[in-house]
Every structure is written in C-alpha cells, then in structure tokens.
Amino acid sequence: MDFSSIESVLGLASTALGATGKAVSTVEAVRKLLASEKKSGNSEAQTLLNTLATELTAANMMNVQLSEAIKALSRELKKQDDFENEKARYELFQTDQHDIVFRLRGDQANGQPMHFICPVCLNADRLISFISGEGDFKVCQKSSHHTFRFNKTGYARAGRASTDWAV
C-alpha cells in the first residue's frame, strides 16, 4: 500500500475543504451585509461578491484536483488488489535441482496451462513473469539473469529432457 499517495489525497482534501469553508464564510458576510440596516452602498457587497467568485473558482479547481487524485488512488488500490489476487493463484515450488520458483496452483488454473513464474520479479517488482525453456534451465521472460535449474541432464543431451510437469 502506497501511504504517500493516500497522504497527498488527504492533504488535498483538507485544502479543498478549507477553500470551501472560506467561500462559505464569505457568503455569510454577503448575507449579513445585505440584511444590515445601513445601506453602505453596493461597493462593499460588490467587493465581497468578487471575492466569493474567486474563492469558488479556487474551491472548484481544488475539487477537480481532489477528484482526480481520488480516482488515481482508487485505480492504484485496484491494481494492488488485482496483483494480490493474481499472486494467490501461485504456490512455492521446489525444482528437482532445489531452485525455488512459483507454480500455478492446480485448482486455480482457470483453464490456463500449467506454468511457472519468476520469484525474483514477483517479490522485487510485483510482476508476474513467466519462466520458460525446455532444457535443464528455465529463464525469466523479463530478465535473462533470472534462471532456474529444473533438471540436471548434464552433457548426456541425447536423453529426453524430463521437463514434464510434476503435477
């Protein structure tokens, strides 16, 4: 959860509320002026109305900003939710060569073929990246530095690589 973006939205919200509050008190001042017995001419009312217009514009702009920030935050939260849901579909898996990767859970396949994903990308970048390859190693599709040893056929390449899913 990105607390700094929540903080900035809350900051915007209180500023917007402050601006609205300022406009409200100007409205009150205009009302009082109009209700007062002393008709001091229209100039004072006019000044107040101009102030009010400016304050309303400012409040309006802040509301737009606030609404955009809230939408962005909401999108961000949804993205995190989606990621957590996606991540929950995988389980830790130890290869025959004792490498640790993540494997799609059988009961979470939803019609997808069985596959493995890169634990480095998942943990560091919150990214679901497939690892693929038919030899002894599978390689992350995002970074070729993320390699995982599944088998040890060594130089006996004639033998069929046993990359069958151990399901």
Q: Name the residue nearer to Zn ion (CB basis): 103 or 146.
A: 146
Distance CA 30, CA 4 (A): 39
CB of 63 to Zn ion, least distance (A): 42
Residues at the contact surface with Zn ion, assessed by CB under 5 A = 118, 120-121, 129, 140, 142-143, 146
CB of 142 to Zn ion, least distance (A): 5
Q: Name the residue nearer to Zn ion (CB basis): 69 or 120.
A: 120
CB of 69 to Zn ion, least distance (A): 32
Q: Name the residue nearer to Zn ion (CB basis): 16 or 140.
A: 140
Q: Where are the alpha helices (DSSP H) in the chain?
A: 3-35, 43-87, 119-125
CA distances to 28, 40, 53 from 45, in Å:
12, 9, 12
Reduce the DSSP state of residue 138 to 3 states and report it.
strand
